[in-house]
Amino acid sequence: MSIVKYTLDAGRGSVTVRKYDSEIDYAAAVGETFRRFQQGAVKVYSVTLNELPQFNHVKAAVMERVAKLYPEFFTDLDLYCKKNTTYLDNTIGSFHREIQFYISYLDYLAPLRRAGMNFCYPRLSVEGKELCALDVFDLALATALLAKGTTVVCNEFHLEGRERLFIVSGPNNGGKTTFARMFGQLHYLASLGCLVPGQNVKLFLFDQILTHFEREEDISNLRGKLEDDLVRIRDVLTRATSRSVIIMNEIFSLATLSDAIYLGSKVIERIVQLDALCVCVTFIDELTLLSDHIVSAVRGRLETA
């Protein structure tokens, strides 16, 4: 048997599934009855439904009952599927999954490129940690701004020699968090082999990106805001290596100034010891004076949503 036929009786609040028993095709009968009244060419009002390949819960329930009507057919089909589960070569399977992402990414970039935004393939280094980037921007923010018809303000950055950390400070809505997010985006997209926003981009091929962004207090863990910050930052510093990229946004914002300076200094000193790359958004200007590994970046009012 290669074809399964069944009928559906749709009643009030229920659907009954039965085997096909040579029932009359009433659609064909109605069409034939009214064919005699046809005059010339007629407009076809039938609609093609674009159905998704997945089953919804109704279709799944119907097929369960069809399988009970034809157990031999579906048993053979189930055995065939199990026997050929691993038919696809792993390399082809990986390519099939990954190419969908890359094509979707290029589709996502298309409106930005038409608007004149620059993209490039970055140069990646596995040894030197000197970084540079021109005309870079945050992808998500740029998409939102272009949708509003607003100009996107691009940025640039450089790290040379012993420099490893950006300490970013400045007024609210000045683009500090955008800069930190953009820095992480660039490295992550580059590690995937994707085009990155900007020109003349040179980045470091990291082992992991570790982040600490401010979040709401969670009463379930019985920790205060400051303790929660300390626990999360300790986890970041424990996992980090010399090849890591660390991004921290507004650390110790609820601590007193003296406590924030003390704690922030300890965190920055540890990152300097690790020789990791870092962007730290903070209101504590004093942290910029701790080491010659640090570059101070004061943001003005730039990209805002």
What integer pLDDT is reported at residue 106 of this predicted model? Answer: 96
Mean pLDDT of the chain: 87
User: Which of 129-138, 249-258, 277-286 tops mean pLDDT?
Assistant: 129-138
**Dihedral in degrees, nearest 10, Cα atoms 198, 202, 208, 213:** -50
The model's confidence at residue 142, banded by pLDDT at 50, 70 and 90, is very high
- In the predicted model, what is the mean pLDDT of residues 50-62? 77
Amino acid symbol at 209: I
pLDDT in tens, 72-104: 888 998 999 888 888 888 899 899 999 999 999
Name the residue with higher pLDDT: 2 or 90: 90
Among 226, 249, 239, smallest CA distance to 270 is for 239
Reply yes or no on whether the pLDDT at 51 is more than 80. no
Percent of the chain with pLDDT over 70: 93
CA dihedral 96, 99, 105, 110 (to 10 degrees): -120
Q: Are 137 and 117 in contact (CB under 8 A)?
A: yes
Domains with residue ranges and CATH for the chain: 6-83 (no CATH), 117-298 (3.40.50.300)
304 pLDDT more than 50: no
Closest by alpha carbon to 175, among 191, 158, 156, 159?
156
Q: Is residue 163 over pLDDT 90?
A: yes
User: Quick check: 265 and 249 in contact, CB under 8 A?
Assistant: no
Distance (Å, whole) CA 184 – CA 177: 11
The residue length of the chain stands at 305
**pLDDT attached to residue 255:** 80
